[in-house]
Amino acid sequence: MRKNLLTLLVVLCTFSLSFAQQKAPRFHVIALYENGGHHVEYSKAAKIWLDKLAADSNFSIDYIQNTDKINDEFLSHYQLFLQLDYAPYAWKPEAVKAFEKYIDEGRGGWIGFHHATLLGEFDGYPMWQWFSDFMGGIRWKNYIATFVQGKVNVEDQQHPVMKGVPSSFWIKTEEFYTYDKSPRPNVHVIASVDENSYIPKSDVKMGDHPVIWSNEHVKARNVYIFMGHSPDLFENDAYKKLFTNAIFWASAKP
């Protein structure tokens, strides 16, 4: 009897340890998002989608709405930083230093969306030059305020972010930003938008117009995905696929 009890205890302990190991998150994500303004509906939809993906794929995700908590110690708990529609200005000084170190030293990965390239002097704040360089040395210039549909063409089908993504796909509702120049000379362009595909047509164009790219001059795995204004993006299979791919690629150590 004692031998059987001992065997049962060993089996139960082994099962419990195995179960605990299976439940341990594969990695930890911090998402910085705007909870107001024009992008609040995108943020709401993104949170619902991300929470389900995290539960289904066994990773953890936390959310913050400002940069007050960001410092070296805070970021050390996360393998991936998501910048969901959060502009690169008005960050706390300690957050700026910690984020730059996180990216430059490859302490974790980064995925930025849409508002992350709102680079310039806004609301009385100077441009964050490091962030401009990170995004390819660009400055925000204009946007399509009335929104258009547009066709995105994948330029690097072999990039891990594009695995299973069609060679081209349509974005239903977007305000495609233009910049003072193309970031192409300073970044690896993964996809661009065909400005001639806009429906309705728009005169707000920049010629060579990358919309997904990665800066290979820093140690952190990173990808910027311009599209991120409308919640209807989470009804777009191509968008959800590249977002998912980006999470698993950027969260892994190079």
- Give the model confidence (pLDDT) of 228-248 as tens digits: 999 999 999 999 999 999 999
Place of tokens 């341990």: 24
**Tokens encoding 129:** 């030059």
By DSSP bridging, strand 188-199 and strand 148-154 are antiparallel
Q: Dig out the tokens for 136 from the structure.
A: 């390819």
Instruction: Encode pLDDT of 196-207 as tens digits.
Output: 999 999 999 999
Instruction: Identify whether the C-beta of residue 116 lies closer than 8 Å to the C-beta of residue 146.
Output: no
pLDDT of 104 > 80? The answer is: yes
Residue 22 lies in a domain: no
Lowest mean pLDDT among 7-11, 24-28, 29-33, 127-131: 7-11
Q: What are phi and psi of 129, to 5 degrees?
A: -65, -40
166 falls within a domain: yes
Domain total in the chain = 1
Burial state string for 176-210 with b = 16 or more CB within 10 A and e = fewer than 16: bbbbebbbeebbbbbbbbebebbeeebebebeebb
14 part of a folded domain = no
Return the higher-pLDDT residue of 35 and 223.
Answer: 223
Nearest CA to 51 out of 82, 86, 95 is that of 82
Rounded distance between C-alpha atoms, residue 94 and residue 97, angstroms = 5
- Residue 216 domain flag: yes
Residue 168 lies in a domain: yes
Amino acid at 218: V
Query: Quick check: helix, strand or coil at residue 228?
Result: coil
CA distance 230 to 38: 9
**CATH code, domain with 44:** 3.40.50.880
Whole-prediction pTM value? 0.90
- Quick one: DSSP state of residue 46? H
Chain segment 54-100, per-residue pLDDT in tens? 999 999 999 999 999 999 999 999 999 999 989 999 999 999 999 99
- Flag whether 210 is in a domain: yes
The model's confidence at residue 253, banded by pLDDT at 50, 70 and 90, is confident
Query: Can you give the three-state secondary structure of 182-209, one letter per residue?
Result: CCHHHCEEEEEEEEEEEECCCCCCCCCC
Is 144 a member of any domain?
A: yes
pLDDT given for residue 36 in this prediction: 73
Q: Is residue 15 a part of any domain in this protein? A: no
Domain of 127, in residue numbers: 28-250
